[in-house]
Chain A
Amino acid sequence: MRRADERGNDPRVSDTIFALSSGTLPAAIAVVRISGPEAFAAAERLAGDLPPPRTLSLRSLRDEGGELVDKALVAIFPAPATATGEPLVELHCHGSRAVVARVLEVLAAVPGLRHAEPGEFTRRALQNGRLDLTEAEGLGDLLAAETEWQRRAALRAADGGLRRQVEQWREELVMLAARAEAAIDYVDEEETELDLSELHEAAERLRSEWIAALEAPRAEPLQQGLRIVLGGPTNAGKSSLLNALVGCNRAIVTDIPGTTRDLIEVALDLRGIKVILVDTAGLRESEDRVEQIGVSRSMDALRDADLILWLGAPEDAPAHPEIILVHARADERAGEVVPREAIATSGRTGVGLDDLTDALRRRCEALLPAPEQTSLNRRQAEALREASDALNSLKAGDPLLTAEALRQAMYALDRLSGRQSTEDLLDALFGRFCLGK
């Protein structure tokens, strides 16, 4: 197999990649994508003659020996108007693990083809100019989407929801900047007389929108999962509860206090929301060096948690904005009064687990951006923060420094949208004002 960089200096000639592009198997249908210069030739080897471009047709996919692998719908998309910008083939196969594994195996045997690396389709789309940066980030997230919730939010970003929002902010900002610039570069023209305080007010309105966007939940927990940390004194039933929630014996459970000494992390699909459950060492004074380290890790985990399940006495709970009180091992504590607002559970009998899951789910939803809501990832938030900081320093009475602040904010938004605004600024300037003598 030749590699791209061995083909001389023409980087457009890349190798051909393939991968399962639809979700987890088994499923009704599995879509395998092939992208690259050899895509059509490879599809022809499997399917025989190919249908006309952009038409789904039924074909029999066969291996080199002529043995039938699957009956699948095949569609071909000539470059450059494809998702990757390269010749692209889609094989809509039956979604069984065995069928898909065999299709991928047959493809891998075709010379010049290789399995795609994670995100490689997106990277090619980006390289081939089929996506801009915010769209690519949305798509990248889409590919990594593990749950329905993530998929919906990712779809929205890929669809340009964020782009449209940024574009609207940018347009408003460009108009404000144009007013300041016109006053500087076109002196003596009554058109351009500047009402600085009005400009500052308009900038402040824009900035408050940005701050609201910055304070809204971030996109990252969607991909990485919310961290839900189980905390409490030793032997409170944390590990049992974790095992009950996960549905398998993930953590060792004994009645010996201090069994759990290190953090145990388990990813869980909480009815469509990705969460990470973290079991911690019980909090107590200990002479044991290993346990001391475990306890200090527990403290860190509790501090960094998105949400805490607290299994100890309510008055001992750490200060944290998101806490659910759990009265664990309820079956063994018949005589005790369940504290107000605590949910009584038992890992052994399953009592209260549904209530707890419901409560968890509700709290998690509030912590995540709603699927309809535009959410920022870290890079995007940084750029917006910078733009907002720039407008924060508007100085009364200095038109030039005001213009500079607006330009700084504009450049920051440019980084977010990947555009350059200087020409747009001049367009706004000349479109709006009658300038020049």
Chain B
Amino acid sequence: MNGRMFDVLVIGSGHAGCEAAAAAARRGAKVGLISFRPNDAGQMSCNPSIGGVGKGHLVRELDVFDGLMARAADRAAIHRRMLNRSKGPAVWGPRVQADRQLFRSAIELLLQSLPIERIVGEVTSLRLNGNEVVAVVLGDGTIIKARSVVVATGTFLDARTYLGLECRSAGRAGERSAIPLAAQMREVGLAARRLKTGTPPRLDGRTIDWARLEEQPSDDEAWRFSAHPEHLPSVPQLRCAITRTTIATHDLIRKSEDQSPLYAGLIEGRGPRYCPSIEDKVRRFGDRDGHQIFLEPESLSDHLVYPNGVSTSLPLAVQQAFIRTIPGLERAEIVRPGYAVEYEHVDPRRLTPELAVRDMRGLFLAGQINGTTGYEEAAAQGLVAGLNAAAYARTLSPVLFDRRSSYIGVMVDDLTLQGVTEPYRMMTARAEYRLALRADNAVTRLGQAAIESGALSAERRSAIERHLASRGTAAFAESQEGQADALYAPYIERQRREWAEVERSRQVRVPSSLSFGGIAGLSAEMVERLTLARPHDLDQASRIPGMTPAGLTALHLAVTRAAA
């Protein structure tokens, strides 16, 4: 291995890493994928589901570029729901429960179908030549040369897990964390802040009283994520169930607050507001008489059940006690305790829209390391980083995503301009053009760009071409996409007029040499934000948090003067 040269080396084989490696390989790059352990690819560390509102859109968009996640989720689906069916097609959210083992083996098979070299080891450092990445160094001293490196280490960067007041250095329960790499990231000024996330205990499904619980059946229609699905062996569809916490649950949790690492001051990282631990829910929303819990089977081949809604880092004894105050779970056994994980992330404002580190040539970052949460968000970033790392290594055109035509574009734009203050999750509320960005029209929106990227199989390419050619036919008008197009046509026409306005602001480029510190009318805070995010044009600048019209006028003036 010593002395070998790759176009793209990907560190980490989670959802971001796998998509990055696969996308780079599809663009013809020579790719190496490095992970701590063999067969580590495609693990779902938290809830066993793929998709949802906003997230489902990301999966559909990934699929247009021949990404892995949609196809793997189709193969592993054991429960399907099209969320928001009653609320209009633009916000329908395809979501599946995926069998963990089936999902992993599907990802493994898809990776094996591509020319990707798998490497087992821990990357302890990146080798730099000036401000350029030239190689990675493994724990055993092996040096692997690469033209570009994609770091997709998820929560593993100097990660610590918490169970009660007990803290371990681990990226996932029972797995070690990447400490030397974190130290180097800090050294080159990339590590920013710590974030926190958590996971609920896993229950033994055989100890749950299913008969007493409200059932949530799978959709009748076996819809697929992939626009061009394979013929799949039929997988049995399971049922989920709904229950809720009780006053007794909340009393117990309140009494145990002193044993929570969240309130003992151990965890400094900020957790998401939208996916709070049950301790947080009880503390912040104490007036509620109960919080819903969805009991989701994890697999066909074991009995694990994921109680969605009770993420916690309380000690195991407290977890066991409060679980049993919940209807249907009076006799439930915990197989694995819930825990919190705190990890380091990079300020994504340091990245370009290609997800390349702005002042470090050849270095790309994707996934939770950029401050996001969720498999879909990670995978979508993996696609962006992989396509563009290959472009960098092989001098191909970059592939850029626009917030007017994709949720991927919304996410990359949000991350690189606004940064994160909590783990970033995709929501349709973030997409100002969401009537045009639907899960049903991903191929139409991104098909041409996908074809131009050259990252497609021949079958996919011709399927996209067929779809694009079919628009305008009577059959298309009858299709789900065609009907949704007609429904939203007047609204989209108005958006087009707004785009004209946006386009004018886009024409005003902010030169990369412009020193924001010298612009009168910008507060020190604004100067710092602009310097970090380095907006490319006035339109981007207008989306930087805290930007006032006065500030924008000042910037516009400075840009105009600089150009004169």
Contact = CB atoms under 8 A, between A and B. Distances in A.
Interface of A: 5, 9-12, 14, 85, 126-129, 131-133, 136, 181, 183-190, 398-401, 404, 407, 411, 418-420, 422-423, 425-426, 429-430, 434-437
14 contacts: A12-B518, A12-B520, A126-B521, A127-B520, A129-B526, A129-B550, A129-B551, A132-B548, A184-B53, A190-B292, A404-B491, A420-B545, A426-B427, A434-B285
Interface string B191-227: 0000000000000000000000000000000000000
A9 B561 contact: yes
A11 B558 contact: yes
A185 to B, nearest CB: 4
- For this complex, into which size category does the number of interface residues on chain B fall? 35 or more
A132 B546 CA distance: 12
Contacts of A418: 548-550
Central interface residue in A132, A407, A436, by most chain B CB within 10 Å: A436
Nearest to A79: B520
A185 B86 CA distance: 13
A5 B274 contact: no
Nearest to B498: A411
Contacts of A437: 47, 275, 292-294, 308-309, 311
Interface string B537-564: 0000001010111110110011001101
Interface stretch (B14-22, B36-44, B88-96, B257-265): B88-96
Central interface residue in A126, A411, A419, by most chain B CB within 10 Å: A126
Contacts of A186: 53, 274
Central interface residue in B276, B308, B521, B553, by most chain A CB within 10 Å: B521
Contacts of A435: 273-274
Interface string B292-314: 11100000000000001101000
A189 B274 CA distance: 12
Contacts of B435: 400, 404
B523 interface: yes
Contacts of A436: 272-276
A188 B294 contact: yes
B281 A434 contact: yes
A437 B291 CA distance: 9
A189 B54 CA distance: 16
Interface string B70-101: 00000000000001101110110100000000
Nearest to A185: B427
Interface string B433-444: 011000000000
B284 interface: yes
Interface of B: 47, 53-54, 83-84, 86-88, 90-91, 93, 272-276, 281, 284-285, 288, 291-294, 308-309, 311, 427-430, 432, 434-435, 491, 518-523, 526, 543, 545, 547-551, 553-554, 557-558, 561-562, 564
B326 to A, nearest CB: 14
B561 to A, nearest CB: 5
Contacts of A185: 53-54, 91, 427-429
A11 B88 contact: no
B521 A128 contact: yes
Given A129-B521, A398-B88, A437-B309, A420 B553 contact: no
A425 B519 contact: no
Contacts of B288: 434
A437 B280 CA distance: 12
Contacts of B293: 437
Given A12-B520, A400-B435, A437-B275, 9 more contacts: A126-B553, A127-B520, A128-B554, A181-B429, A184-B84, A401-B491, A420-B543, A420-B545, A435-B273
A127 B553 contact: yes
A436 B52 CA distance: 12
Contacts of A434: 276, 281, 284-285, 288, 291
B518 A9 contact: yes
Contacts of A85: 520-521
A12 B558 CA distance: 9
A295 B522 CA distance: 55
B521 A400 contact: no
Nearest to A177: B429
A425 B427 CA distance: 12
B548 A129 contact: yes
B105 to A, nearest CB: 27
A39 to B, nearest CB: 15
B562 A9 contact: yes
Nearest to A398: B88
B243 to A, nearest CB: 12
Nearest to B294: A437
A429 B422 CA distance: 15
B505 to A, nearest CB: 13
Given A184-B84, A184-B429, A436-B276, A420 B521 contact: no
A380 to B, nearest CB: 13
A420 B547 contact: yes
A127 B521 CA distance: 5
Contacts of A404: 434-435, 491
Given A9-B518, A181-B429, A132 B561 contact: no
Contacts of A407: 432
A188 B518 contact: no
Central interface residue in A5, A127, A185, by most chain B CB within 10 Å: A185
A187 B549 CA distance: 36
Nearest to A129: B521
Contact of B550 (A5, A132, A181): A132
Given A185-B429, A399-B87, A400-B90, A10 B518 contact: yes
Central interface residue in B274, B281, B558, by most chain A CB within 10 Å: B274
A190 B290 CA distance: 10
A258 to B, nearest CB: 50
Central interface residue in A131, A132, A430, A437, by most chain B CB within 10 Å: A437
Nearest to B544: A420
Nearest to B549: A418
A398 B311 CA distance: 33
Contact of B430 (A126, A136, A400, A422): A422
Contact of A400 (B88, B294, B553, B557): B88
B292 A189 contact: yes
Given A185-B428, A187-B84, A11 B557 contact: yes
Central interface residue in A127, A128, A399, by most chain B CB within 10 Å: A127
Contacts of B273: 426, 430, 435-436
